[in-house]
Structure 1
Amino acid sequence: MAEPSCVLGDPEGPGNVFVRTIGLAGVATFLFRNKHAIRGNFARTEGLWSVLETPDDPVNVSVRSVGLAGVVMWAVLVDLVKLNWLDSNLLKQRAGNRIEYQDFVSYIEIDPEMQKYPQNIFMTTDTPTNVKITTSKTPEDQITCFNSSITIRYPDFGTNVSSELKAIRIRSTENITVAVSAHHDITTLIPTEKLSTSYIVSPPSPDRRFQTFDAMTITALQDNTSIVLSELGLSVITNYTLDALETRIHRNADVLAYNIQSSKPVAVFCGMYCMSDVNCSNMIEQIPPSNQLDTIYIVPPNIDMLRTSATIITEKNTFITIRGITIPFGPGRRTRLSITDNVLVLRSVDPILVTSQAFHKDASVGSPYLTVVPGVNQYLPWYKVVVPSGWNTNYIAVMMRKSAVSGLRANKQSIKANTIRFEKNIAIEDLEYSVIIAEVAEGELTLDTIDNTPFGLMVYGNRLGAGYGFAGNVLR
């Protein structure tokens, strides 16, 4: 049996952790420098709970760790904390703490611009990890190892000789965040464990200056997945069955909003797709399932003279407060609101889907992009993203409580005043929020707050003839 290894902690900290192993005799001592916690068969650092199981036969355990001020000691009897190096396909559930490999799916569309602008996968991690990328049609896997962030081209998998839609599955041995590009635009991928069987979707606004069609794609996670596509609140349009990683594209037929119901979880993407390589830019955005929608949204503007519209989609009868006025909304209603240099606040009685779409006034200057707006209750205190290279300007839009702004950090540093391009304070009920848009450099970007206050994050950028945008997080 090969000796496995495990990396613990922050590689920037001092010192090394080592493990002395005493096989069958019974005691494995994990020396440490910091706090530790043991709950049943779990040993925990400040990060995730790690499952340890013991084999019946004698075994020597080798644990290797990078040095770090955050590395933890584990001192446990083998009888209590058992060690088993798990299969690469899953991690087990123990004591109500779900621990599993991160798992994502995405589709790839072959269009005329693929050779000029190949699709990329952007991945970040806080722990060194292995990532496996597969398709349903090919036996070979692409395995990538990285320890912070990485940008890779979509695997070939024969896609350069096929015109059909294909899907890939991305599995990681540690927690990661993943975003993918489609020609220009970028979307954050949703872990498959968060995907579901019910969605509401509204295609983006078509812009006749671009040779595109607006549409959505549906990708199955499991075989024999039945799908029913309806006009939201009205009749069924079509139904069919897909096997694992099969993908179907639906061109929009002047339907304002769709409802998708499936027998098993599916991944849903929405955007605009190129019909030619002339004045064209794909838009892509993965849509969160209905059970992940929120009731309060802060929609920031897009600077650089970009025209922004926010689209609201309702699934049931509800009331939405817009610019201080409460309006009744029926099921399946789609409303688009223009945003110029202001901030839009939306409050709904029931969960709604909100997307942000940006266009430049001059089509030759910047192409459109689409972004799901994160709800206030979905904000997180920490993000790690890759700001893509090759763009003239890149921005972050941060929505957070005003009282916590001074504690916001980008790559462990305060946001520099000379990078801020927009700042506005708004009130939501009894709380005051700040919206800050700052210019950032390309590359890895970690954002957090000193006091762990959650905040919303949207990233976007542009160059001549192109634009992109994605959210840091769209889930609760």
Structure 2
Amino acid sequence: MGGLVELCSTFVFALCLITRGVTGTCQTYCDDKWNGTGTYPCTQKLTSRGTTYRSCGWWSRCSSGSYTMYYSTYKCCQQTCKVNGSWTLWGSWSAYGPCSTTCGQGARKYVRQRNCTNPTPKHGGLNCNGSSTEYINLQCLPSVKCQINGGWSAWTSWYEASTCTKTCGSGLKSYLRWRHCTNPSPKNGGRACYGGSVGRSLKKCLLQTCPVDGSWSTWSSWKNHGQCSATCGVGDLQHVRTRTCNNPLASNGGRECVGNKTEIISVSCSTKPCPPKSSLMVCSTYGNCGCAYGFYGNGFSCKGSLGRQFLLLFMETNSYSQFEVKENRSTEIYVAALADSNITLRTTPEKLQALPFTRNKVITRGASKVLIPKSFRTEDIKIEKKAILLESTTPVIVVTMNHDGNSSDTSLILPVERLGLRYIIGTTDPFSPKLTAHKSQVAIAALHDNTTVTIQLKFDSNSSLTYQNNQYFSEDKLTLNLNKFESFQFCKQADLTGTLVGADLPVAVFAGNRCNKLQTFGYCSHLMEQLPPIDDLDNEFIVPPSLEFGGSKVRIVAAQKTHIEFFFDGQKKEKVLDPGTYQDARIYSDHSAYIKADKPIMVLGFAIRMNQKEEGDPYMSLVPGFNQYLSQYSIVVPVGYTKNFLSVILKEESKSSLRIDDQALSRDFIVSKMEVVISKGKYLVLILQTSSGGHRVETLDGSRFGLMVHGQKNGDSYGYAANMVKAS
């Protein structure tokens, strides 16, 4: 290695020149991994020459001599080396973004890092191999639990739930199966499963051949049997009809038919008018005597609700026996007759002695009242023997009143020839879902033995109706068998509107509410009406208001898919109703409504008070359609009410020909008058004040008009339509 020369000095005494000589070789040796420097040793030889001096006085020096010195030392070589990078340890995991869900179990991304500083790469050394960042997804559970909607499990196997409905022949056996809302179960506010948990099925069961009892064929048409007993006016003419015991014939030991195969009756007949002999009316002065006593008909049977036989039933009411005793009222029959008549009451042998009379009670022309024991009121969910058949020797109008001492309602009763096989039910929604007093109810009465009744239930509720340990839900069918004068009533803490009743023989059907409120103020009131068969429904109506200072809740019920047009206060609304559904509306005391439909519908009116100061509380009434209007009516107005009214709907030009008990209309009778203009012309809706008792209402020009009867007192009211079946 080369040499170096250095100057050196000593203070005052010496001055030297040093020559460095280096021997040895530096090798590539890096013993420091962090900075890359080498420390391998090598030898240096040093020669030091100099002159010595001495002090010759203050701040003076003098040469004293010279010298040479040799010595050696060691020193590290300086070598720079490459340093490869190396990773530090991984850092802790930390959240990287939110949870993937806002409720329930989700996933969340986490991150950790490391650095290439252990050591850091230098002098061309290699970088660390791999990534400085690492991610991982871990489960996360937010504080909010997810809603879980319930799901049905699979159905169980069918279970035999009943024995065969027949002891011989072909019957039905009931089967049940279940499923549970556990697949999954609803949690955290999730929806419960939709639909029923119980499945039902009826399957045929075949047993031994049954004895077949003989049954009568239908009666033949009536035929004249002799001549009219009167040469003028009204007389009697015998008619005969026959039947045979072949529908079916008795077989397999079955019983023969019971009863007569021939029936003879006397009906009113008329040849020509007789000259008047007194002030008593044989037939209406203003009508033509085409039917008995001037009403629509052919001389043998009258159109509308006039007849000789009526099937009666009184539905259950709230029990206020102390008030019933005080008022001396319970169940009542009102009979409106245009001539003296004999009345007979018939029922099952078990209940016959409970009737106030059974035959030949004489009633006079006008209105008569018959009290019926409360024991004839029906009870829920049981077959009973409580129907009553009223028979009259002359055509009459029959109205029943059901009174619990606090509230009441009336119903026009249909003659038996106007009973039908198919009915749709109308009731109201119970005001309170907890008070059993507000229940909707339906009652059915049979006119013949072995009457099969099928009830297709409809109600907006997840609950069921239980009969003979079987549960029936909405849309289920309940089938039962009724004999002559037997009845069946069922009720529900829900609206039964839309329920269908069918039978293989004519039945009478009644519907309403045991006691209901339609406003937050006022009192609970009994609601009841006999319903017309579906075949007698109409499709065009004018709806008058109900109470003097109140209004009406109108319910339109469709038995089939129907397009409805509703006109009220200058506005028109349209709606399509599906089978078994309804539409509600309200009209006020100074308005009427016009309803038109493309299919027959049932229109019900429920009286409502418009404020707390007015009289009257709810009553239920059918609204007659145009095809149910008559030109002459016989009506009865019950006693015990402070105000009684007639609602008359007639063409404007017929107002002057309207007569009430032979009296022309005077201003004193008119409480209110409204005009309704439709495509058929201008109609008037007249609210007329009247008195209790029997009345005859008719038009001189023979024009047909609608008529409704209603009355009120403090806390109670009643109402009914004067006719509710088609007249043509």
**TM > 0.5 fold call:** yes
> SS of 2:656's equivalent?
helix
Following superposition, the deviation at residue 127 of structure 1 comes to 2.3
Output the CA distance in 2 between the equivalents of 1:330 and 1:162. Answer: 32
> SS of 1:377's equivalent?
helix
Give yes or no for the alignment of 1:104 onto 2:310. Answer: yes
Give yes or no for the alignment of 1:148 onto 2:148. Answer: no
1:198 to 422, 443, 446: 422
Other-structure match for 2:483: 243
> SS of 1:257's equivalent?
coil
Deviates further, 240-249 or 42-51? 42-51
Following superposition, the deviation at residue 248 of structure 1 comes to 1.2
Following superposition, the deviation at residue 142 of structure 1 comes to 4.7
Alpha-carbon contact 1:110-1:159 (below 8 Å) kept = no
Output the CA distance in 1 between the equivalents of 2:390 and 2:565. Answer: 39
Following superposition, the deviation at residue 308 of structure 1 comes to 0.9
Following superposition, the deviation at residue 197 of structure 1 comes to 0.6
The C-alpha deviation readout for 1:281-306, integer Å capped at 9, x for no partner, is 32210000011111111110123332
Output the CA distance in 2 between the equivalents of 1:348 and 1:160. Answer: 36
Aligned runs of 1:48-59 on 2, under 5 Å? 50-52=236-238
Output the CA distance in 2 between the equivalents of 1:367 and 1:165. Answer: 32
Output the CA distance in 1 between the equivalents of 2:719 and 2:450. Answer: 34
Output the CA distance in 2 between the equivalents of 1:457 and 1:171. Answer: 25
Aligned runs of 1:317-332 on 2, under 5 Å? 317-323=561-567, 324-332=572-580
> SS of 1:175's equivalent?
strand
Following superposition, the deviation at residue 231 of structure 1 comes to 3.6
Other-structure match for 2:608: 359
The C-alpha deviation readout for 1:61-104, integer Å capped at 9, x for no partner, is xxxx99448779xxxxxxxxxxxxxxxxxxxxxxx974597111
Give yes or no for the alignment of 1:138 onto 2:351. Answer: yes
Other-structure match for 1:120: 332
The C-alpha deviation readout for 1:353-400, integer Å capped at 9, x for no partner, is 111011224399432100011111111111121211111111110001
Other-structure match for 1:187: 411
Give yes or no for the alignment of 1:376 onto 2:626. Answer: yes
> SS of 2:313's equivalent?
strand
Alpha-carbon contact 1:108-1:165 (below 8 Å) kept = no
Q: 1:49 to 1:475 in 2, by over 3 A?
A: farther
Aligned runs of 1:265-284 on 2, under 5 Å? 265-274=506-515, 280-284=524-528
Q: Which has the higher contact order (CA 8 A, sep 6+)?
A: 1
Q: Output the amino acid matched with 1:260.
A: V
Aligned runs of 1:392-407 on 2, under 5 Å? 392-407=642-657
Following superposition, the deviation at residue 165 of structure 1 comes to 7.7
Aligned runs of 1:216-235 on 2, under 5 Å? 216-231=442-457, 235=475
Output the CA distance in 2 between the equivalents of 1:429 and 1:461. Answer: 32
Other-structure match for 2:159: none
Q: Output the amino acid matched with 1:175.
A: P
Q: Output the amino acid matched with 1:344.
A: A
The C-alpha deviation readout for 1:24-78, integer Å capped at 9, x for no partner, is xxxxxxxxxxxxxx99845778987841489xxxxxxxxxx99448779xxxxxx
> SS of 2:645's equivalent?
strand
The C-alpha deviation readout for 1:441-473, integer Å capped at 9, x for no partner, is 222221111111111110111111111001111
The C-alpha deviation readout for 1:260-291, integer Å capped at 9, x for no partner, is 1111111011111159xx95432210000011
Alpha-carbon contact 1:178-1:188 (below 8 Å) kept = yes
Q: 1:44 to 1:469 in 2, by over 3 A?
A: farther
Give yes or no for the alignment of 1:175 onto 2:395. Answer: yes
Output the CA distance in 1 between the equivalents of 2:553 and 2:620. Answer: 10
Other-structure match for 1:462: 712
Other-structure match for 1:20: none
Alpha-carbon contact 1:319-1:326 (below 8 Å) kept = yes
Other-structure match for 1:428: 678
Following superposition, the deviation at residue 328 of structure 1 comes to 2.4
Q: Output the amino acid matched with 1:355.
A: L
Q: Output the amino acid matched with 1:250.
A: F
Other-structure match for 1:258: 499
> SS of 1:166's equivalent?
coil
Output the CA distance in 2 between the equivalents of 1:430 and 1:211. Answer: 44
- Tell me how large the CA RMSD over aligned residues is: 3.3
Q: Output the amino acid matched with 2:578.
A: G
The C-alpha deviation readout for 1:115-145, integer Å capped at 9, x for no partner, is 3331211111122211111221334515421
Alpha-carbon contact 2:336-2:396 (below 8 Å) kept = yes
Output the CA distance in 1 between the equivalents of 2:509 and 2:601. Answer: 16
Output the CA distance in 1 between the equivalents of 2:614 and 2:437. Answer: 13
Output the CA distance in 2 between the equivalents of 1:362 and 1:248. Answer: 37
Q: 1:119 to 1:363 in 2, by over 3 A?
A: farther
Q: 1:97 to 1:143 in 2, by over 3 A?
A: closer
Q: 1:319 to 1:157 in 2, by over 3 A?
A: closer
Output the CA distance in 1 between the equivalents of 2:613 and 2:429. Answer: 15
> SS of 2:394's equivalent?
coil
Following superposition, the deviation at residue 349 of structure 1 comes to 1.1
Q: 1:161 to 1:172 in 2, by over 3 A?
A: closer
TM-score, normalisation: structure 2: 0.51
Q: Output the amino acid matched with 2:237.
A: V
Q: Output the amino acid matched with 1:132.
A: T
> SS of 2:430's equivalent?
coil
- What are the ranges of 5 or more consecutive residues in structure 2 without an aligned counterpart? 1-223, 241-273, 284-297, 460-473, 517-521
Give the length in aligned residue pairs: 404
Output the CA distance in 1 between the equivalents of 2:677 and 2:654. Answer: 15
Give yes or no for the alignment of 1:289 onto 2:502. Answer: no
Output the CA distance in 1 between the equivalents of 2:436 and 2:672. Answer: 29
Alpha-carbon contact 1:293-1:351 (below 8 Å) kept = yes
Output the CA distance in 2 between the equivalents of 1:444 and 1:294. Answer: 27
Q: 1:286 to 1:235 in 2, by over 3 A?
A: same
